[in-house]
Structure 1
Amino acid sequence: MRIDHVHQYTEHHRFYTFRDFSLSVLDFKVISQIYQPMVGAVAAGLYQLLYHQVPESRTGYSQLEPQRKLFLSLGLEMNDTGRRKLADEASKLEAVGLLQSSRLHIPGSEDVLYEYELLQPLSPSEFFLNQHLTLFLRDKIGKYAVIALREQFYSPEPDELAEAELGKENISLRFDELFRLNAHVIDGELEQALTEVAPARQAAMPAIPAAASAGIRYGEIIMRFPRNSANRQFVERLRSDEDKLAMVNYVAYKYELNAADMSRLLDEDGIFSSSGSLMFDELQQKASQMYRQDRKREEERRVAASRSGYAPGQGEAAGQDAPEEHGVTEEFHLPVPEQLSGRCDIPQYNMLMRNEPYTRFLQRFFPGAVPEWIDRLFERIDLSYKLPGAVINVLIHYVIGTNESQRVTKTFIEAVVSNMLVKQIDTYEKAVVYVREQGRIELRKKQEAETGSAGPAPARTYGGARGNGNRGSRKPAIPIVEKRTTGQKLSQEELEEIRRLAKELDGQG
């Protein structure tokens, strides 16, 4: 718990608890025998005290109450020492993954609320698979105690079954084999009622793997979203709308934003229509602005770090490959550029080019940050010209991947984009065919220039022929004096005669 000053966290501030689970007998045993040796008895008591703020038979929120209740229940003095003690105990629970604390500011008021969101303890099997928690427990109670503790949570298999090699056959019935639903009748009233009484805050569900997704769950967004926001009712609908949530995750993945960033963007004006529809273009525009601001701040930090002589390590963004979404057949494979040779083979490179957002694909061609003018140019191509992401990646391959400096200019890139728009290049396959065709044209021009097979360029004329009555000559035909050489040398007498004539003419002049 990050508290700058003890007066920000007092017994007068109000708090509430949220949990979306219920503890079993096994969970209580895990808390008392595994977590308590790590965090201490006071922190374990605080966890159970917060847990019982919500009735045992329910999940959700507790009532708003002053934190004086926590001080009195834990036997802490209501002074600076007690406040610091309570904050430290909460920090221990946060460190081991049992608690998340938040400070809530009410708009138009100086009142501050504290939210304690309880997290379910790990099961014994999950806990002992977590290496850093297991090592921390070993440091607290010893190696042999950890081994004995793990054996207490697991009932071994009977010896008769363990020694025999048995064949296992699944004979369980599925739901649809035993029961039938009347799916032809749609009960709209029931769906509406269930939606109205559904809790605004949902349990954190496992992330559904999706292509080009940041993996942000609905619970992570709504947990950080302001309660008094005008857009909250629209954000709450994301719980049952997987398509819109997938769009939000795509934008987050494309511009490298986290759940807190997306919560701020969804709170902006103009992100939702009056009917609650998600305005995808506006969301992309604002996400792009935030992406540029983050890049600018990162560049400023990098410059300041280089001036101070400290160079922090950079994360390997190249290792974060996008999940596969669309396959690429061999007939549409493009060669791997020299910049990426050795880092991936041809099928892997084409899968990245087909499925990865252009922002991440563009970063692979630069060892550091992408130049700002290139970033802005491709941003305009994406947002203004509406080229699909796969087509933009093929454009990046054609312009930057060929490693020809004369192509990396604003004029050339915009000319290629204009040509693509005119020819309606809107799919990955069309873009590959277009790039190959341009390559053949450039190769043919290069060969003609080297062999001279194209012939001399025709002389420019400024008017029609004399006999052409339809079009008169704009300029008179001026005779050109041709240089003629006979190949014979003049004799000494002829040279003297020429000099004499020249002197006479000069004298007459």
Structure 2
Amino acid sequence: MRINNILHYTEHHRYYIFRDFSLSSLDYKMLSLIYQPMIGAFAVALYQQLYHGIAEGQSGFSELEPQRKLFLGLGLEMNERSRKHLIEQASKLEAVGLLQTSRLGMPDNADVIYEYELSEPLSPTEFFRNMHLTMLLRDKIGKYAVIALRESFGANEPDELANAQLTKENISVPFYELFKLNMQSVDDELEQALTEVAPARQAAPRQQLETAGIAYGEIIMRFPRNSANRRFVEHLRSDNEQLAQVNYVAYKYSLSVVDICRLLDEDGIFDPNGDLMIDELQLRANQLYRQDKKREGDRQRVIARSQAAARSDEESEEPDEEFAVNEEFYLQVPSQLLGRCDIQQYNMLMRNEPHTRFLQRFFPGAVPEWIDRVFERIDLNYRLPAPVINVLIHYVIGANDAQRVTKAFLDAVASNMLMQQIDSFEKAVQYVREQAQVEQDKERRKEAVSSYSAAGARSGGRGSRSGGGTSRKPSIPIVQDGQPGAAVSADELEELRKLARKIDGK
């Protein structure tokens, strides 16, 4: 529920409910065991309160009532915090497909009315065919709990029929073999009456899972007949769940029918029982997607080079319009180009020259091939404008720092520019200045830390604190070796002897 102003959604606004279904015992079990772990007990309580807003056994619309009834029924107070909480719970119901909320504007006044349209819970088969909901449930309760829940919703086939090779024949009787309608008489009155009492609206169609739309017939028609996985692929005809997973992977990685057949033909895609290993299929589909993306990038660069060469051969290049650079956007001339141009000329070149010519000015000879390929990919695949690429060259190569000139760093800076939508010379200059300021702040903090550590080492030694306090150990005088003793006189020597004899008791 998207509410920009909390005052647009209060307990004073009126609402009504629409539903055209009735919950069965299986639906209640789905709400309790499947939906409640995903969205919480409060959201399920809100759903049930909205459901019972229409009498059991009926469908259609409820009466117009103030939303105070919802707040009181859920035990919420009439304040801003409760409004936000109710909006959050309704949003959870909308995200899993149980509710659609609309806001209706009244033509006569500025008041609005909220419509809550309920949708029926998915059946177990439909739910576990939906990969988004299944993955969300797995994140909430774990993989093994999901498997146990899936098994709890289905009754197993009798053991006697499980492994038996049976032939199945449909012997059901169609409608027109048993019943004959009188097509000569047309009851116009009945048709008019049924039209008049029909509901004014039907439930909105439930949003379907995005899929590639590949049918089983398209897969089996292109699948090799002598493949070891042929018998497993043929089982997809009666297994709609696995076919839906294959379509989901094909949609996720933009794979064609031929690509899907190639993946299904590989070893390790099916287990010995014939079940599709969806994780392995996604892993290999991702690898195929990355390879195709790399080949497409290489193809685009080759085509661009050939087109540029053809244009240069057929047409004489006309000088493009030059754009001036304001002084506030000037960048300093790098050390490699000092003496060859002043600051105005350098910024004009950076603003108007193609990146190939601008890049050559930083090298005395040929540009290294790997650097040329990196900027070619940035130009043709990333679609950065030429002035922005030139500012990138100034920032990375003009800094004359060997640690910066790496493929990873160039790609990281270009990706960051794309994320920040740097699409003009002025934005690129501002970006470079901000990055330079960040680097200066980082260096300043590093120098402060190093100077602080050096000061602590000078003031203390091992036993001293770096904070400037006194040492915890007491200062004990140490006897120094090699100090000459003072001479003892004869009287002092006699006194010492008397003291010694007294101590000995003689």
User: Which protein shows a greater Rg?
Assistant: 2
**Shorter-chain TM-score category?**
0.3 to 0.5
Q: TM-score, normalised by structure 2?
A: 0.40
Q: TM-score, normalised by structure 1?
A: 0.40
